Amino acid sequence: MQRFINNPDDLVDETVAGFVKAHRDLVHLDPANPRVVVSNAAPQPGRVGIVTGGGSGHEPAFIGYAGRNMVDAVAVGELFSSPTAKSFADAIRAADGGAGVAVLYGNYAGDNMNVKMAARMVAKDGIEVATVVANDDVCSAPAAERAKRRGVAGEIFMWKIGGAKAAQGAPLSEVQAAAQKAIDACRSVGVGLGPCTLPGVGHPNFQIEPGTMEVGIGHHGEPGTRVEALKTASEVADDMLRIVMEDHALPPGSEVAVLVSGLGATPVNELYVLYDRIEAGLTAKGMTVHKALVGNYFTSLEMVGATLTVMALDGELKALLDLETASPAL
């Protein structure tokens, strides 16, 4: 395993320690819980707090999105594992400015359970909690069962919109509604070209044979909808766009935001090759890209592959997306 690691058991703590040192102008550790990263702008008195959290190994997600006008506090889990209920609860407490807290997270069993428990824990402190569960991964369940879909890179747009709405002073119900609207407007798909290895395990937890690719793969190597021969970048980009847009069914003239994220070990230039083709495909459909993000925004250790997220925009989402923000990753 050609990796920069010490004891695998220390990897998450060391990651978080380095992260809060490198970005001390924006974030700090919760003094009460070393698995909670808090924005230096939090809590915002009288404003809704924004919390997220998830397993580690997806850096810069989730911790990189703590910051001003973004996420107020992030609960940090072990590699590819949900944060504890206590960490979610401590994150909620750290984000609480007295106007309630919106917890915006991804649809995974552990996270669902622990966020629910956390909400009960902080209810005793009088903190009102609203939740939005991201489920933007098209290939993880049919459209008719969207509630079963996993949350993936669309979460970044959900956090951005929720954080912006909270920054504008909206009440909890409106922040929740805006974040829900954001994730409802997102569709994502992942394509995997190479697996990843949890350092404590020491070998890949799934395989992708050379010469093949897995379409619809999840952020932890969850099986995709099909394994097929590796295609050209343009063909892959076309496939990704088709999968996302068939689920979206947007009218021509729509404005969208696009995120192409590497999964950790994909050369940055290839993400731009994909983006070039994706934007061309959107333009051909009569769509306009209002904002594009291309880079390693939501990774899976050293997985080779990429995700595409397309968010449909209206006037409100555009304005919230454009609101100035400052976080380590955005």
Q: Which of 41, 301, 311, 320 binds its own copies (CB under 8 A)?
A: 301
Question: What's the rounded Cα separation, in Å, for the pair 3 and 57?
Answer: 13
Q: How many residues bind its own copies (CB under 8 A)?
A: 57
Beta carbons of 254 and 312 less than 8 angstroms apart:
yes
The answer to whether 221 contacts its own copies (rule: CB under 8 A) is no
Helices 154-167, 172-184: crossing angle, 10 deg rounding = 150
Q: Which is nearer to its own copies, 176 or 261 (CB)?
A: 261
The answer to whether 330 contacts its own copies (rule: CB under 8 A) is no
- Tell me, residue by residue from 184 to 203, as one string, x for binding to its own copies by CB under 8 A and - for no binding: ---------xx---------
Least distance between its own copies and beta carbon 21 (Å): 5
Place of tokens 């496939």: 239
The answer to whether 106 contacts its own copies (rule: CB under 8 A) is no
- So which residues are the catalytic ones? 58, 220
Residues 6+ apart with CB under 8 A from 18: none
Question: What's the rounded Cα separation, in Å, for the pair 14 and 195?
Answer: 23
The answer to whether 233 contacts its own copies (rule: CB under 8 A) is yes
Beta carbons of 62 and 54 less than 8 angstroms apart:
yes
CA angle 230, 233, 236 (to 5 degrees): 65
Using CB under 8 A as the binding rule, the residues of this chain from 259 to 298 that contact its own copies are: 264-277, 279, 289, 292-296
Q: Which is nearer to its own copies, 24 or 148 (CB)?
A: 24
**Which one of the spans 117-125, 173-181, 244-252, 301-309 is the region binding its own copies (CB under 8 A)?**
301-309
**Which one of the spans 101-109, 145-153, 241-249, 299-307 is the region binding its own copies (CB under 8 A)?**
299-307
DSSP output for 62-113: TGGGBSBTSBSEEEEEEETSPPPHHHHHHHHHHH--SS-EEEEEE--HHHHH
Least distance between its own copies and beta carbon 140 (Å): 22
The answer to whether 326 contacts its own copies (rule: CB under 8 A) is no
Beta-bridged to residue 302, according to DSSP, are none
Beta carbons of 47 and 169 less than 8 angstroms apart:
yes
- Chain contacts with its own copies (rule: CB under 8 A): 2-6, 11-12, 14-19, 21-23, 56-57, 59-60, 193-194, 208, 210, 213, 230, 232-234, 236-237, 264-277, 279, 289, 292-296, 299, 301-302, 304, 306
